Structure 1
């Protein structure tokens, strides 16, 4: 389904919407990752935050798993919020902000 091509003014008007969508998406992704990490860790570490890259208390395998999970969640949420923001913008203006 082809979309209406965005004009230059429409793209400029979309920038604040896109910025807000990105910030909201980052906050949602962060909270979602924290909750999933707490559920995925054994009971002895249930209160712990995810390991950081330079943490010596965790094995490399666990650090890599946390990193991959965090990246996948961020990418998924970012895609959903970006697409939702673009659809909202299109509904209001009649112009698709991308392409």
Structure 2
């Protein structure tokens, strides 16, 4: 498969994987936040009743979870493409 065709063919796969990763990461973050804080809802940056520490901790945790899940899904997708096509996607 040509490199250009492979990139075009992988775009919808990558997009679907990204959407799925976002949904999974959101669920994982909510569950971890419930366990860590005992609160059902994570704070928003504009939540006046929450302190800076809680807001920054939630943001850092959320960012770390999203990045890790995205990396796992992207890597898994690339491995799947290699198994299917015999070539690593660019």
Normalised to the residue count of structure 1, the TM-score between the two structures is 0.85
Residue of structure 2 aligned with 1:93, choices 54, 77, 85 = 85
Gaps of 5+ in 2: none
Which structure shows the higher helix fraction?
2
* CA deviation after TM superposition for structure 1 residue 95, in Å: 1.5
- Structure of greater relative contact order (alpha carbons < 8 Å, 6+ residues apart): 1
Larger Rg: 1 or 2? 1
Equivalenced residue count is 89
Name the Cα RMSD after superposition. Answer: 1.1
Query: Which consecutive segments of 4 or more residues in structure 1 shift more than 6 A?
Result: none
Question: Aligned partners of 2:59, 2:36: CA distance in 1, in Å?
Answer: 14
